[in-house]
Amino acid sequence: MGVMTNTVLLVEDDGHIMKINQNMLAKAGHRVLKAGTLSVAVVAFETENPDLIVLDILLPDGNGIEWCKRIRGDSHVPPILFLSTLKDKFDILEGLKAGGDDYLTKPYDLDIFVARAELLLQRASRVPEVVKKGTLRLEITSGQAFLSGQNMGLSPKEFALLLNFAQNENKVISAETLYKKIWGHPMGEDNQALRKTVSRLRSKLEDSEFIIEFEWKEGYRFYMWKASKNHL
């Protein structure tokens, strides 16, 4: 199914800390996105589908804890590691209660930072043996998908793409993000591979309750039409 590259979104307004953390994570083999403000972080979160968010709390245009509370209602939010100068017991508890998966106070040991980030990534990457959505059943170990009990006969790339869709149901994912997840490298000029794979999936999902919709300049969205109030 190709090499899966972890993407870490660093939300930090201190340029020096940002550079050090970026270098440490990149050295460990991770793709790093940088956001110096909350507004930039929101866009990156919605378009890049990161696997981990390292989140400062006191940002120029907002509060990291408040943003964490807002996005925690989305079941597809990745792990969140708070990284803050706020080190009082009650600040830490507030971050964890808001939905943070871990909390590190500044200053911190860089090796411990990377270790905690990777532990959260490892936990999040553990997928169940079977994913079920309506009449769709995806068996992770065998790489086979069944629709109403019938084997869909998917190729490895088709299966990986359908699994990614199923795990991000009703969320718009950019073509670039999908390509990096499935093929393991940037899309570049090769956008036909993804389009053809999506087209084959659509054909195999025909007459089912599942829709793969393309939203212009945004990306692809997978949903069950019977479960979506907007598509009754």
The single-letter code of the amino acid at 106 is K
* CA 226 – CA 232 distance, rounded (Å): 6
Contact 139, 129 (CB under 8 A): yes
Tens-digit pLDDT profile for residues 74-122: 646 899 999 999 999 999 999 999 999 999 999 999 999 999 999 999 8
pLDDT of residue 181: 82
Looking at the whole model, is its pTM more than 0.95? no
CB atoms within 10 A of CB 50: 23
Domains and CATH numbers, the chain: 7-125 (3.40.50.2300), 130-231 (1.10.10.10)
pLDDT of residue 47: 84
- Produce one character per residue of 93-122: b if its CB has 16 or more CB atoms within 10 Å, e if not: ebbbebbbbbbbeeeeeeeebbebbbebbe
The single-letter code of the amino acid at 213 is E
pLDDT band at 48 (very low <50, low <70, confident <90, very high): confident
Tens-digit pLDDT profile for residues 131-155: 889 899 999 878 899 999 999 999 9
Q: Which of helix, strand or coil describes residue 90? A: helix
The Cα-based distances of 36 to 79, 147, 185 in angstroms read 19, 44, 25
CB atoms within 10 A of CB 23: 12
Start-to-end CA distance of the chain, whole Å, equals 34
pLDDT of residue 2: 37
* Residue where the block lists tokens 């794979």: 197
pLDDT of residue 226: 63
The Cα-based distances of 73 to 54, 69, 183, 198, 210 in angstroms read 18, 8, 30, 28, 23
Tens-digit pLDDT profile for residues 3-38: 356 899 999 999 999 999 999 999 999 999 999 999
Tens-digit pLDDT profile for residues 185-231: 788 777 789 999 999 999 999 989 999 999 887 889 999 886 444 44
